[in-house]
Amino acid sequence: MTDSPRIGLIGGTGREGLGVALRLVHAGVPVLLGSRSQDRAEAAAGSLRSRVPAARVEPAENGVVIASSDILVLSVQFAGAEATIAEHRHRFRPGSLLIDLTVPVAFEGGRPRFVELAEGSSAEHIRARLPESVALGVALKTIPAHALAAIDRPLDCDDFICGDTEDARARTLEFVRLIPGLRGVDCGALDAARVLERMTLLAITLNRRYKTQGARFRVVGLP
Amino acid sequence: MTDSPRIGLIGGTGREGLGVALRLVHAGVPVLLGSRSQDRAEAAAGSLRSRVPAARVEPAENGVVIASSDILVLSVQFAGAEATIAEHRHRFRPGSLLIDLTVPVAFEGGRPRFVELAEGSSAEHIRARLPESVALGVALKTIPAHALAAIDRPLDCDDFICGDTEDARARTLEFVRLIPGLRGVDCGALDAARVLERMTLLAITLNRRYKTQGARFRVVGLP
C-alpha cells in the first residue's frame, strides 16, 4: 500500500461523498474520510463499516485529510466549496490532485436551478482558488448518490472526466478505474465541466419528472 | 394520410436534415423536403430515393414547406436560423409545431466552441423570434448526422425533448416515436435546451478525441 496514492475525501459525510467512499472501500481501496468535525467523520466511517465490514477507512478532520492525501475528492456542497478551499489552502500537498465533484445547483421553491458563475463552471471557479501546485480533475459529477450507494448493483454508466492538464486527466481516469462498472470518458479540458455540471441538473430534472433517483448517462458509439 | 400531420423539413438538404429525412422516409413517413433552392431540394429528394426507393418525399422551397406543414423540423445551420425565421415568419400555420434542431456551436481554428446567447440557448433565441401561434419543441439535437444516415443500424440511443408547453412536448415526443429505435426523454421546459445544446458540443468533442463520428447519449436508470 505504501506505493499507492493515498486517497482522501473532503466532505465525505454527505450523501455523494459517502457513496463514493462506499464504492471505494467496497473495491478494497483504503480511504481517509474527512469532515469538518471528527465526530461526524467517525460516525460516517462507522456507517461504512456497517455496510462493508472489511472497509479500510480512517476518519479525520478535512484539514488532516488534505495534508495527508495524494488524491483528494472534493464532495462538499457547492455553496461551501470556496470556504473549504480557502480555509485549508496552505495544507494541500504540492503535486496532489483534487478531483472536483461539486455542482452549482440551487433549489428555489423546490425547483433546481443552475447557478451561473463568472468562470463558467464550478470546476473553473475552484481552479481559480486552488494553489497552482495542485492539479485539478473532474469526475463523478453526473453519478447520483443513490446509484453510488447501491453497492450490490453495478453502476453500468459512464463517468465524464475533464481536467486542467493531460496529466490531471490521466490521473483522474486512473482514479475512476478503481470503481468497478464505471467507464471513464475523457472529455478534455476543464471547460467541459460547463456541460457536465449542467448534465447533473438534467439528471436531477429527469429524476423528478420520472419519479426516480438514479438517472445517469452512457455514451453510445465510442470505439 | 389525410389525418396525419404534414411533416416538413426547413433546410432538409444539410447533413443533419437529410439524416432526419432519411429516417422518416425509411419508416414510411411522407416528408416535404425544403431548401432555399428548388434545385437543391430536388437533388436531396433524389438522393433520398436512391437510398429508400419507396420514399414519399416532395421537394420544395422552404417558404412553401413552411406554409404547408403542421410539423416543421428546423435543421438549418444555427448561423442561418434567425434569417430563415425572419424571412418566412408570416408563412407559418397558426397552431403548427416547430421542432428545433439547431445548435449554437462555431468552429475556431478547427476547435468547436459554444456560442453564448443572451437567451441561454438557441431554442430560446428562436422562441423569441417565432410567431406566438407557433409552438416550439426541441428534439434530435444530440443525434449525430452520421448515425442518422446509417439507416441499416438502429439508433439505440435516447432523444432529449423539451418544449415551451406541455402540449408542444407531447407533440414532439409523438414525432420522435416515428423514428424507430429512438426513445424520447422528456426534459421539461424549453430552458433544458441550455443543457442539450451543450451536450451536442460534448458529443462533437468526444468524436474528435475518440476519432469517431457517432457519439450519442443514453440515460440509464429511468423506469
pLDDT tens string A167-190: 999 999 999 999 998 999 999 999
pLDDT tier for residue A109 given thresholds of 50, 70 and 90: confident
pLDDT tier for residue B168 given thresholds of 50, 70 and 90: very high
- CB burial of A129-142 (b: ≥16 within 10 Å; e: otherwise) equals ebeeebbbbbbbbb
pLDDT tier for residue B138 given thresholds of 50, 70 and 90: very high
Mean pLDDT for B106-125 is 94
Mean pLDDT for B73-85 is 97
Q: How many CB pairs below 8 A link A and B?
A: 95
Contact A187 B202 (CB under 8 A): yes
Contact A217 B214 (CB under 8 A): no
Contact A214 B192 (CB under 8 A): no
Q: What is the CA angle A205-A122-A154, rounded to 5?
A: 55
- Give how far Cα A143 sits from Cα of A62, A78, A109, A138, A156, Å: 23, 16, 24, 12, 11
Residues comprising chain B, all counted: 223
Mean pLDDT for B61-90 is 97
Mean pLDDT for A138-162 is 96
The answer to whether A195 and B198 have CB atoms below 8 angstroms apart is yes
| pTM, entire model | 0.96
Cβ contacts of A114 on chain B, cutoff 8 Å: 194
Q: Which residues contact residue A71 at a Cβ distance below 8 angstroms, ignoring those fewer than 6 apart?
A: A5, A6, A7, A8, A96, A97, A99, A171, A175
Cβ contacts of A210 on chain B, cutoff 8 Å: 222-223
Contact A205 B192 (CB under 8 A): yes
Q: What is the mean pLDDT of chain A?
A: 96
Mean pLDDT for B133-149 is 97
User: Percent of chain B, pLDDT > 70?
Assistant: 99
Cβ contacts of A162 on chain B, cutoff 8 Å: none
Query: Quick check: A153 contacting B, CB < 8 Å?
Result: no
Q: Is the pLDDT of residue B7 over 80?
A: yes
Residue A210 is predicted with a pLDDT of 97
pLDDT digits (tens, 9 = 90+) for A10-37: 999 999 999 999 999 999 999 999 999 9
The shortest C-alpha distance from B189 to chain A (Å) reads 10
The DSSP element (H or E) to which A58 belongs, if any, is strand A57-61
Give the C-alpha separation, B182 to B26, whole Å. Answer: 14
Q: Which of B50, B42, B29, B56 is nearest to B176 (CA)?
A: B29
Cβ contacts of A147 on chain B, cutoff 8 Å: 221
pLDDT digits (tens, 9 = 90+) for A34-85: 999 999 999 999 999 999 999 999 999 999 999 999 999 999 999 999 999 9
Q: Is the pLDDT of residue A1 over 50?
A: no
- Give how far Cα A184 sits from Cα of A138, A190, A217, B136, Å: 11, 15, 12, 35
pLDDT tier for residue B1 given thresholds of 50, 70 and 90: very low
Cβ contacts of B214 on chain A, cutoff 8 Å: 220-221
User: Percent of chain A, pLDDT > 70?
Assistant: 99
Residue A4 is predicted with a pLDDT of 87
